[in-house]
Amino acid sequence: MNEHIVKSYEDELNTLTAECTRMGGLTEAQIADALAAVVKRNHDLAAAVVGRDDRLDESEREIERRAIRLIALRQPMASDLRRTVAAMKIANNLERCGDLAKNIAKRSLVIIESDPMTPLTRSIERMGKLVLTRLTTVLDAYTRSDLERALAVWSQDDEVDEHYNSLFRELLTYMMGDPRTITASAHMLFVAKNLERIGDHATNIAEIVHYEITGEDMISPARPKTDSLKA
């Protein structure tokens, strides 16, 4: 192979990783804004999140197209192949996080219309910040190929579940105490569930980074779990 082709192959791989990192940044922004829409009861923020979601869908398609083209034309081996597959899988997880952020933004519009639920909103904010930190950390780990950092995210999977379980109980109590809050609380229940699922995607990404770096799967029975009702 001449140097030109080698360079261009490296370029393609780097572009793929860079696209994925950029998509990660956009996803973080979507989640932060969706959370702020709920917490600050801000209609405009919610609308902005909904409007930007198409960009994430397009990013995922673009990364997938690039990855498949790269596999077909360049036939990457070993670690290059893992890097390519990892980019596709991470993009898929990010796209799903984006959908969840969009859904949170849409639900915030219903929640805004009801009376403020101050203590619940604080719990949601705490949970959202925790989830966002996990995602940011694992995306850092991806960008820097930092196995230790990825494993740290993976092993702290429990924390989000604990927040979710306590919020679930808090919300049911709230509903029972005042049936007029049931509609808004039901939407808040799904906001909490969506945050928990974003946390799961952060864990998935940690597993993908582990696979990319080591070439080995993490077998899920080892994965820490406290919430028996997760999906």
Query: Least CB distance from residue 104 to its own copies, whole Å?
Result: 8
Which member of 7, 68, 79, 162 binds its own copies (CB under 8 A)?
68
CB nearer to its own copies: give 150 or 207: 207
* Residue 21 binds its own copies, judged by CB under 8 A: no
Q: Are 63 and 23 contacting, i.e. CB atoms less than 8 angstroms apart?
A: yes
Read off the tokens for 54. Answer: 């198409």
Query: Least CB distance from residue 124 to its own copies, whole Å?
Result: 16
Subset of 110-149 contacting its own copies (CB under 8 A): 110
* Residue 66 binds its own copies, judged by CB under 8 A: no
Query: Least CB distance from residue 57 to its own copies, whole Å?
Result: 6
CA pair distance 190, 96, nearest whole angstrom: 15
CB nearer to its own copies: give 1 or 72: 72
Query: Least CB distance from residue 188 to its own copies, whole Å?
Result: 11
CB nearer to its own copies: give 27 or 103: 103
Q: Is 74 exposed, middle or buried (0-12, 13-18, 19+ CB in 10 A)?
A: middle
Sorted by sequence, the CB contacts under 8 Å of residue 43 that are 6+ apart come out as 37, 109, 112
Sorted by sequence, the CB contacts under 8 Å of residue 57 that are 6+ apart come out as 95, 98
CB nearer to its own copies: give 143 or 183: 183
CA pair distance 184, 124, nearest whole angstrom: 13
